Amino acid sequence: MPETIPADSVGLIKPQTMHFDQPLELECGRALASCDLVYETYGQLNAARSNAVLICHALSGHHHAAGYHSMDDKRPGWWDNCIGPGKAIDTNRFFVVSINNIGGCHGSTGPSSINPESGQPWGPDFPMVTVKDWVNSQARLADRLGIKRWAAVIGGSLGGMQAMQWAIDYPDRVAHAGVIASAPKLSAQNIAFNEVARQAILTDPNFHGGRYYLHDTYPRQGLILARMVGHITYLSDDAMRAKFGRDLRSGRFHFGFDVEFQVESYLRHQGETFSRNFDANTYLLMTKALDYYDPARYFDNSLVKALEATTCKFLVISFTTDWRFSPSRSEEIVNALVEVGRDVSYAEIDTDKGHDAFLVKIPEYLKLFGAYMHRVANEAETH
C-alpha cells in the first residue's frame, strides 16, 4: 500500500455509476434495454467544457486508470504512469474520463450483471458487443456529462481501436485521437491466440455453458490458461529473456512437472491471479470484440475510405518489440491517414517491453506522449 499518496497522483478516487434507460442498439442486432456505465474522472472540466479526455481500456482493463481507491491499495490504476498532475495526460489541465465498457466485469453492465428479464446473471445470454457499440455507449456518457467534443480520445491496444472508431463514427466530437500499440484489425495469428484462450474457457468443465454463477464456481483453469497464453503475447521474447532467461527456480532440474523454470512460475502466478479477478464471460466477449474489429469492413475493405470521414488529428505510437501489434500494424494506420491527408504524429518507441510497453514508464515514450498532449491542452484552452 502507499504509505502516503504520491504527489503526482490523482489521489483517492471514487468510481461513479451512470444509469441509462434508453435501449442501446447493438451491432449484433440485439439491444440492451438499459445499462449502467461505471467510470472515474480525474481533474476539472473547464467552463468551456473543452478539456475533456476519454480513456478507453484494453482487453482486461477497466475504469480504474489512475489514483487509488483506498490507502490499502497495493497498486494505483492501470495507467497511473501516464495520468496525473504533471504527467503525460496532465490532470492539472485535462478533465479525464475513464470508463468500464459494457460487457465488462468491473461494474458496468455485463455477463455477470443481473438480466432484468430472468432475474439471474446474463451469462451466455449477454449480447455480443463490439468496438462500435462501446463507442456509442461512451457517446451517451459524454452527452450526460455535457461533453460535446473530446479534446482527445486515447487508448492502448483494444483501447486504441476505440479511439480510432470514435474518430470515424463521431468526427465532430473528437479533436485528437491517440492510438497506441494498436492495429487496424487483428491478423489470423492474433485471432488464433484469442481462439485458444476462448477454447480453454469454453471447454473448462466449470464453465457450465457460461452459467457457472449459478453453480457457485468459475472456469478457473480455463482462465488461467487463457491468461498464460495472452501474457506470452504481451511480453517480448527479449523481455522474457531479460526477465527470466533459463533461470531455474531451485537451481537444478527436478525431472518432474512441477515448476522448474522461473518463467513457468511467473506465468502460473499471472494466470492464477487473473482467474480470481476477471470474469470468464467478459474475457470471451472482449476477445471477440477484438476479432471483429475491422473498420475497413464497412468501406469496401479499404482502411483509407474508412478514415476519410475523420477530421481529428492523430497520435499513433508503436513499440519496437511489440509482436502482438507490431509497428507495421501501426504504420498501416499511419499510411492510410497520410493518404487521406490527416494530421498524424507517429512514433516508434525503442524498447524491449513488448506489447505491454504502452503501460510502462518509458522516458522517451512519456516525454513524447506528454509533448503531444501539451499541444492538445493548449488547443483545448483556446477554445
Determine, following the binding rule CB under 8 A, whether residue 65 of this chain makes contact with a second copy.
Answer: no
CA angle 85, 68, 239 (to 5 degrees): 80
Nearer to a second copy, 19 or 254 (CB): 254
**Segment near a second copy (CB under 8 A); pick from 45-53, 101-109, 256-264, 303-311:** 256-264
Cell of 68: 487509488
Binding mask 330-349 for a second copy (x = CB under 8 A): --------------------
Nearer to a second copy, 177 or 223 (CB): 223
CB 249 → a second copy: shortest distance, Å? 12
**Segment near a second copy (CB under 8 A); pick from 65-73, 103-111, 186-194, 340-348:** 186-194
The DSSP line for 273-319 is HHHHHS-HHHHHHHHHHHHH--GGGGTTT-HHHHHHT--SEEEEEEE
Residue 322 a catalytic site member: yes
Nearer to a second copy, 67 or 127 (CB): 127
The catalytically annotated residue of 90, 133, 322, 356 is 322
Cell of 237: 521474447
CB 299 → a second copy: shortest distance, Å? 15
CA neighbor of 330 nearest in space, from 226, 169, 177, 153: 177
Nearer to a second copy, 29 or 119 (CB): 29
The Cβ of residue 273 has, within 10 Å, a number of other Cβ atoms equal to 12
- Grid-cell match 502482438, residue found: 324
**Beta carbons of 66 and 100 less than 8 angstroms apart:** no
Site for a second copy in 68-127 (CB under 8 A): 127
Residue 355 a catalytic site member: yes
Number of amino acids touching a second copy (CB under 8 A): 52
Identify the residue among 52, 105, 225, 380 touching a second copy (CB under 8 A).
225
How long a stretch of residues is the chain? 383
Determine, following the binding rule CB under 8 A, whether residue 250 of this chain makes contact with a second copy.
Answer: no
CB 196 → a second copy: shortest distance, Å? 5
Nearer to a second copy, 176 or 185 (CB): 185
Identify the residue among 4, 255, 341, 363 touching a second copy (CB under 8 A).
255
CB 273 → a second copy: shortest distance, Å? 15
Binding mask 267-306 for a second copy (x = CB under 8 A): xx--x------------x---x--xx-x------------
**Beta carbons of 148 and 48 less than 8 angstroms apart:** no
The catalytically annotated residue of 157, 275, 326, 330 is 157
Contacts of 128 (CB under 8 A, 6+ apart): 26, 27, 28, 285, 288, 289, 292
**Segment near a second copy (CB under 8 A); pick from 15-23, 26-34, 78-86, 302-310:** 26-34
Nearer to a second copy, 261 or 299 (CB): 261
Q: Is 259 helix (H, G, I), strand (E, B) or coil?
A: coil
Identify the residue among 193, 234, 278, 319 touching a second copy (CB under 8 A).
193
Site for a second copy in 301-330 (CB under 8 A): 323
When computed from its CA atoms, the radius of gyration of the chain, rounded to whole angstroms, is 21
Where in the chain does DSSP place strands (E)? 16-20, 24-25, 31-32, 35-42, 52-56, 83-84, 89-90, 95-99, 114-115, 120-121, 152-156, 176-180, 313-319, 344-349
**Beta carbons of 128 and 102 less than 8 angstroms apart:** no
Determine, following the binding rule CB under 8 A, whether residue 191 of this chain makes contact with a second copy.
Answer: yes
Residue 118 a catalytic site member: no
Contacts of 125 (CB under 8 A, 6+ apart): 115, 118
Distance CA 177, CA 142 (A): 16
Distance CA 337, CA 349 (A): 20
Q: What is the dihedral of CA 68, 136, 201, 124, to 10 degrees?
A: 120
- List residues binding a second copy (CB under 8 A): 27-29, 127-128, 185-189, 191-193, 195-196, 198-200, 202-203, 205, 221, 224-225, 228-229, 232, 235, 237, 240-241, 243-246, 253, 255-257, 260-261, 263-264, 267-268, 271, 284, 288, 291-292, 294, 323
- Residues recognised as catalytic: 157, 322, 355
